[in-house]
Amino acid sequence: MTTPLTHPQTSREELADGGPGTFGSGLTMDRDGRRACVRITGQVSAITHRHLDEWLDWLITTGARQVTVALPAADQIGTRLVQVLGIARARLRDSDAELVVTAAGSPMRTELWGHWQAN
C-alpha cells in the first residue's frame, strides 16, 4: 500500500531585517511499507526544516527502514538542513536503517552527503 502525503507551504515569514517575505515551498511524501521518499519542492525555509524534521521523526517512529530525501537542488543545502538530516541519519543507523539524500542534477549523492557533513 502506498501512502502519498502532501504538505504545501505558501506562507509569509519574517525576514532577518523584520520585513515580510513570501515564499512557496512544500513537502511530498510517498510511503510503501518500510520505504519512504520525502521530496522538497521550491525554496527551502525554516518552515520546510521544521516540517521535514517532523515527517522524518514520524517515519522513523513508525518503522521506516529506508528513507530518501530528495532536494530540488544541491545549492538548497544549508546548516539547518544538514542538522535535520544528520539527526535523522543517526537515528536510522541506530535501527540498521538508512537515509539516502539526493539532489536534482547531482550524480554522486554519497559524495554530496559527505561534503555537506564537512561544511
Query: Can you give the pLDDT at residue 87?
Result: 94
All domains in the chain, ordered by first residue: 2-11+22-118 (3.30.750.24)
In the chain, the amino acid numbered 65 is R
Its sign, for the CA torsion 75, 117, 83, 4, is positive
Q: What is the DSSP letter of 86?
A: H
Could you tell me if 21 and 13 are in contact, meaning their C-beta atoms sit under 8 angstroms apart?
A: yes
User: What predicted TM-score, i.e. pTM, was given to this entire model?
Assistant: 0.71
Residues 9-19 pLDDT 10s = 443 333 333 33
Q: How far apart are CA 36 and CA 53, in angstroms?
A: 14
In the chain, the amino acid numbered 14 is E
Q: How far apart are CA 119 and CA 116, in angstroms?
A: 5
Counting every residue written for the chain, the total comes to 119
**Sequence-distant (≥ 6) Cβ neighbours of residue 98 within 8 angstroms:** 65, 66, 67, 92
Residues 73-106 pLDDT 10s = 888 888 899 999 999 999 999 989 999 998 887 6
End-to-end CA distance of the chain: 38
